[in-house]
Amino acid sequence: MNRTAAYTAGELAKHLGAELYGNASAQISGVASPERARAEDLIYVDSRRHVERAAKSAARCVIVAKEIRIAGKNVLEVGEPKLAFAKAAALLSKEAALHPSVHPTAIVASSAKIAPSAFVGPYVVIEDDVIVGEGSAIEAFCFLGRGARLGENCRLHPRVTLYAGSALGGHVEVHAGAVIGADGFGYVFGEGRHWKFPQIGTVEIEDDVEIGANTTIDRGSLETTQIGRGVKIDNLVQVAHNVRIGEHSVLAAQTGVSGSSTLGKNVVVGGQVGIADHCTLEDGAIAGAQAGIPTGKIIRRGELVWGTPARPLERFKRQHAWLTRLPELAGRVRKLESLLPVGSGRA
């Protein structure tokens, strides 16, 4: 359950760097959609087509884009309403703090170092030489393998597994069921069978990363799988061994990144994208939903690709338009063929 803190519209405007038009003393204690908002909730409007929704809302205070006004509302004018709303939500709604403690059912190795301000929940298992930083929370049924490291103010939701040696920085949040540091899918075929290639590397996750439920991030084979600062990974994503993901990149659900691929900074990957092995997505590249990126392909800096095999969006749209016309074109070809003389070589 989240807890809320109350602020005045004036205080919130100062925090957001917003221009306030209205009553600076109006109380704000939460965030909501226009239809579900109470009087003390904050809502936002990022285009004029949503003004009517906001006008009908019970909310007294609205974050708006430049030069939008709503009669009867206190408005906080900003350049980017959605971003300002997210910042306001972070201030107004905070997760309920977990009291520092180690639950009596937890199994904690004597060599593990657990910060006094950390929370360790029911049935957690923490093996030898694990380090858990200040303010971190480990919820029920989590497993931290030998030598795993957890920085300050991290949160592991129930049933998260960190294999031995996995290292997480500070302010990392991992949602339920995620597995970090499992063996990569690496085999060598010979003598009539598959031989397992060594999977003895590690996983390093930098600060301010969020990892979705049931996502898996494999350890490196001989090297390190690296997740950069500020990366956001959705639910049900597979990140294979030796992958490197640069700062502030985002990966949507059901994406798979194969071994030894590299994603640069600020890369955006849509849902159900398949990235084969040894691919490179340079800084700022965007892969649209369900794109398929073949082995070794390079997506250049800032390029937007779609389709399988992935290609620049404009080319994909032109080709797709022709594909949708194939039945019509086939009919026209058949009609033209019917006009040819018998024996002229028509199909």
Residue-wise pLDDT for 181-228, tens only, equals 999 999 999 999 999 999 999 999 999 999 999 999 999 999 999 999
10 Å CB burial of residue 341 (0-12, 13-18, 19+) is exposed
Report yes or no: 99 and 78 within 8 Å, Cβ to Cβ. Answer: no
Annotated active-site residue in 15, 171, 241, 320: 241
In whole angstroms, what is the distance from residue 124 CA to residue 106 CA?
5
pLDDT at residue 98 in the model: 84
- Tell me: pLDDT of 84 over 80: yes
Residue 338 pLDDT class (50, 70, 90 cuts): confident
> For the residues 232-258, what does the mean pLDDT come to?
98
Position with higher pLDDT, 71 vs 345: 71
pLDDT at residue 215 in the model: 98
In whole angstroms, what is the distance from residue 120 CA to residue 100 CA?
8
Share of the chain above pLDDT 70, in %: 97
β-pairing, 155-156 with 173-174?
parallel
pLDDT at residue 1 in the model: 40
Note if 241 is an active site residue: yes
* Nearest Cα residue to 164 out of 244, 109, 214: 109
